[in-house]
Amino acid sequence: MKKIFKIPLEIDGKNWSLNKIYAGVHWTVRRKDKNNIRLLVRSIIGMKKPFKNPVSIKMAFNSGLDVSNHGYIFKLIEDALVKCGVIQNDSYKYVKCNIMTLQKAFKGVIVEVEELKEE
């Protein structure tokens, strides 16, 4: 089973780049980012029942950033998926694979959570 969510988010290097974290952003700014993304994701997804089996998570970003610079926003969205009940936890027991890619079809992030077969 696969669930696809479209998160409308304007991604720029100033606000969502991994380089922002390397620059030493204060923890209160990171907490605000986390809360804002959590609210945005919950407004799109709502509350769900978690997948029973491990999953892979693919996020396709529409931005001018390098693919790897989306690591910060990927983690924030992944944590929001836990809070919304889509996945039980973001540990390796529940998330076996993370994929980041770019796309131009949607202004924001296309999130695909796919349930894997039991091992």
**What ranges do the domains of the chain cover?**
8-108
Q: Residue 50 has which token pair?
A: 């978690």
In this structure, of 23-37, 72-86, 101-115, the range with the lowest mean pLDDT score is 23-37
- With tokens 């089973």, the residue in question is 1
Q: Which residue has the higher pLDDT, 20 or 60?
A: 60
pLDDT score of 69: 94
Calpha distance 23→104 (Å, rounded): 28
Question: Which ranges of 1-119 would DSSP assign to H, the alpha helix?
Answer: 13-16, 18-22, 27-45, 71-83
Helix axes 71-83, 27-45, angle to 10 degrees: 60
- Check whether 85 has a pLDDT greater than 90: yes
- Check whether 119 has a pLDDT greater than 70: no
Q: Residue 83 has which token pair?
A: 């809070």
| pTM for this predicted structure | 0.91
